Amino acid sequence: MGAVVVVTPFVEFRDRGDIERWTGVQLQPEDPTLGEVTNYVEDAKAQRMDLFGEMRIGGLDVTREAYLGAPYRIEVHPDLAERSR
């Protein structure tokens, strides 16, 4: 059995003092190669604009520039990081 990889894009923000986390579509390739994992990460990064649209529809006052200028990170589960060493 190969590695189980789940790629989930999300946006985390503070609204009226509360921290909220909205997630995008979860991608779960079955026993992926490193190249396939890289492609899924790129797909997740592309979903950033979908999440921006969701925020605007939800009535949040965020500009496109502020959203795209916000820092983002790619989190790797420690077990998967250890396997890649």
Return d(Cα 71, Cα 85) in angstroms, integer.
26
Q: What is the 3-state composition of the chain as percent helix, strand, coil, each rounded to the nearest 5?
A: 40, 20, 40
pTM above 0.85, yes or no: no
In a domain, 50, yes or no: yes
In a domain, 52, yes or no: yes
Q: Report the number of distinct structural domains present in the chain.
A: 1
Where in the sequence is the domain holding 26, given as residue range(s)?
10-83
pLDDT, tens digit, for every residue of 33-84? 777 777 877 887 777 788 888 888 888 888 889 888 887 777 777 776 666 5
Residue among 50, 58, 69 at smallest CA distance from 10? 50
The torsion defined by the Cα of 28, 31, 40 and 79, in degrees rounded to 10, comes to: 80
What's the pLDDT at 4? 67
Tokens matching residue 30? 């079955």
Residue among 31, 39, 9, 30 at smallest CA distance from 21? 9
In a domain, 5, yes or no: no
